[in-house]
């Protein structure tokens, strides 16, 4: 029996519907909100494949739905889009004890925390890869053909989801992902708290480490702006390229001249990513 869903809003867009939905999550033990775009093809009885989008630090589902400009192309291609929140929230969910913006609420890092007080709620990987797809497929006219993409922290999440679950996703891509979180300040802060001090355990959630032992060669598309203020200290895409080359894993890194870390960058290239995913989902 699936948990009941509460529809918070419904908006008509490009012949389809954008819905915001709330439900009680067992994985993260609190109410969660996600957005789902259903393209016009579902009104003809079609079950459509799903493009999952994972957003970055401080974001919610609304950053992507309001700023990415993805719905025209998704409607043309016949893709559903599901955009979850980036972390658990609500009364009793702990945030950053130091008041920082890069940990806790809005910064779940798409891992399954093992350390207290985080372990009860911060199980975003389980939520994204298991609970949310089951919920979506049980309640909406979508198929079990899935792909996954994301931005920054969400790019890290998308890469890890695809690498840890071979055969589950038909395509993966990322904008400005944190590819080596075990070796950069954002990841060190988050992993040290969520996962504890043993750095070997961190590698289970690090794309550069996971790609070396990947059993599936799912091609990876990455776009990265060369004027991104986080590029040198936090993102380091060349580390993933080096790891992929060593493992003979296909990866395409496109350095985009003049672009930063914002949704102006994402909205410029989101069509390329949707078409990359559609080729795998609909092929």
Domains of the chain, by residue range, sit at 6-282
CA distance 109 to 61: 15
Q: What angle do CA 9, 11, 132 make, to 5 degrees?
A: 60
Which one is catalytic: 152, 156, 223, 276?
152
Q: Are strands 16-25 and 5-13 parallel, antiparallel or unpaired?
A: antiparallel
Is 102 a residue of the active site?
no
Which one is catalytic: 125, 151, 261, 277?
261
The confidence score (pLDDT) of residue 4 equals 84
Is 98 a residue of the active site?
no
* Local confidence pLDDT in tens for the 283 residues of the chain: 355 899 999 999 999 999 999 999 999 999 999 999 999 999 999 899 999 999 999 999 999 999 999 999 999 999 999 999 999 999 999 999 999 999 999 999 999 999 999 999 999 999 999 999 999 999 999 999 999 999 999 999 999 999 999 999 999 999 999 999 999 999 999 999 999 999 999 999 999 999 999 999 999 999 999 999 999 999 999 999 999 999 999 999 999 999 999 999 999 999 999 999 999 999 8
Place of tokens 């008509």: 12
The confidence score (pLDDT) of residue 1 equals 37
Distant-in-sequence, close-in-space partners of 32: CB < 8 Å, separation ≥ 6: 22, 23, 24, 25, 84, 85, 88, 127
Longest dimension (CA), the chain: 53
In angstroms and rounded to an integer, the radius of gyration of the C-alpha atoms of the chain is: 18
Which one is catalytic: 112, 228, 249, 273?
228
The confidence score (pLDDT) of residue 262 equals 98
Is 226 a residue of the active site?
no
CATH of domain 6-282: 3.40.50.1820
């Amino acid at each position: 029996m699936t948990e009941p869903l509460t529809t918070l809003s419904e908006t008509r867009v490009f012949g389809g519907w954008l819905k915001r939905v709330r439900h009680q999550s067992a994985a993260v033990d609190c109410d969660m909100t996600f957005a789902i775009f259903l393209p016009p093809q579902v009104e003809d009885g079609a079950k459509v494949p799903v493009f999952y989008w994972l957003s970055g630090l401080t974001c919610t589902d609304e950053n992507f739905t309001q700023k990415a400009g993805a719905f025209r192309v998704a409607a043309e291609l016949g893709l559903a889009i599901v955009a979850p929140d980036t972390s658990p929230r609500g009364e009793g969910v702990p945030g950053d004890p130091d008041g920082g913006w890069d940990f806790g609420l809005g910064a779940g890092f798409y891992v399954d925390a093992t350390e207290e007080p985080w372990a009860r709620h911060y199980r975003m990987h389980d939520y994204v890869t298991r609970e949310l797809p089951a919920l979506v497929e049980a309640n909406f006219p979508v198929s079990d053909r899935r792909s996954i993409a994301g931005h920054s922290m969400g790019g890290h999440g998308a890469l890890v989801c695809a690498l840890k679950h071979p055969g589950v996703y038909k395509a993966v891509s990322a904008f400005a992902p944190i590819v080596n979180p075990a070796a950069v300040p954002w990841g060190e802060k988050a992993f040290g708290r969520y996962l504890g001090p043993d750095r070997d355990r961190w590698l289970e959630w690090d794309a550069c480490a996971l790609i070396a032992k990947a059993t599936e060669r799912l091609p990876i598309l990455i776009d990265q702006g060369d004027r991104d203020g986080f590029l040198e200290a936090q993102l380091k895409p060349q580390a993933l390229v080096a790891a992929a080359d060593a493992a003979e894993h296909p990866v395409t890194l496109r350095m985009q001249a003049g672009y930063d870390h914002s949704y102006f960058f994402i909205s410029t290239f989101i069509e390329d990513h949707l078409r990359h995913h559609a080729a795998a989902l609909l092929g």
